[in-house]
Structures are given as C-alpha cells and as structure tokens.
Amino acid sequence: MKNLLGHTSVLATLLIANLAFAGQETYAIDSEHSFANWSLRHVVAKTSGTFNEIKGNVVIDRENLANSSVEARINILSVSSNHAKRDAHIVKEDYLNAAKFGEMTFVSTKVVAKSATEGEITGKFTLHGVTRELTFPFQVLGFGSDPWGGYRVGLEARTAIKASDFGYKWGLKPNGPVGDDIEITLLIEGKKI
C-alpha cells in the first residue's frame, strides 16, 4: 500500500508539472537580451547593425504552436551600427525619421506550425507610417530557468523587407549608395510573466 501511495504521489507531481506548461504561456520580451539585427548593401559591400530596445509579449502554446502570437515594438532611436556619427544620421528625417516615426511595430495575425519548434508567423508590420503584411519563418530555440529565478524562452526569426515598400527613398541603388533590400534577424529572449 505504501508503494502504491508513493507511485500515486509521483504521478500526481508529474501531472501537475505537465499542466503547468499546458496551454498558452506569456513571456515579456527582455530588451537587454533581445536584438533586431539588420544588414543592407552600402556602396559595394554591406553594413549592419541592430536595434537594442525591443518591448512586447510573446504568447506560446507548446502543445499547439498555431495558438501562439507576438506583439513587439522597436525603438528607432535604439539603432546601433557601431559608428556614432552614422547612427545619428540614420535617425534623421532623410533616413528613419525617428522624430516623426519613433517606433516600428509587429502584431501577429496567424502562426502556422511546421513542427513542435518551427513555424511561420504572419502579421502586420508598421514602419515609417506604412503597414504591410509580413510572413517569415521562426524557430523556438528552447525554454529554461535563468540564474535569477525566472523562466525564459528563446526565439529566432529571419525576414527581409524592401525600404521602398515603406516609403523610403534615401539614395537607393542602382544610382544611390544604399541597397533597397534589408535583411533582418530577430533574436528574442522572453521572461515568463
């Protein structure tokens, strides 16, 4: 009888642990550990940088990834290309125009699961006052406890946009020095709330 009670207790503990992760979980994007990296053609090479301030929430359903969603805001003034003079120029009116358009945003509308950890996310992306639908692949990198007593998720996604689709003109190639195609890599770490 003692053995049966012991097994029942272990099973109950496992069931409670599994229920704790069932359904949707919400994670706040940790801006200190998340990056929106970008690269584009410049003259004959490429230049790159990141936006360091990302806020928002990621909702994940581990059992059905299609029930997941994302809402994110990126501060334009947090741009960093490892060159202070260029960063100051990038945020001015003739480029990103941060005084008028201080944020870019993404709000998901649909997630298609390809596996338990990979899928495609579709949503409304707003930049420079223009909103367009984007669909791009993403990967759930993992879940785990952090050193500060929290619980985290890691995500990675890649996409590309055309600057001209969002109203930018900024000396675009073939005649100007800057490429129209911007490659974006999102590295997101969220803390469970």
Q: What is the CATH number of the domain that holds 172?
A: 2.40.128.110
Please report the pLDDT score of residue 14 as a whole number: 43
Residue 7 falls inside a structural domain: no
At 9, list the tokens.
Answer: 């207790």
Peptide bond before residue 147 is cis, with ω within 30 degrees of 0: no
Please report the pLDDT score of residue 184 as a whole number: 97
DSSP state letters, 38-91: EEEEETTEEEEEEE--EEEEEEEESS-GGG-EEEEEEEGGGEE-S-HHHHHHHT
Q: Is a pLDDT exceeding 70 seen at residue 5?
A: no
Q: Is a pLDDT exceeding 50 seen at residue 17?
A: no
pLDDT band at 165 (very low <50, low <70, confident <90, very high): very high
Split into its structural domains, the chain has a count of: 1
CA distances for 135 relative to 123, 147, 162, angstroms: 7, 34, 14
Residue 128 falls inside a structural domain: yes
158, 184 contact by CB (below 8 A) = yes
Give the pLDDT confidence of 27-42 residue by residue, as tens digits.
Answer: 999 999 999 999 999 9
Residue 17 falls inside a structural domain: no
Give the pLDDT confidence of 96-118 residue by residue, as tens digits.
Answer: 999 999 999 999 999 999 999 99
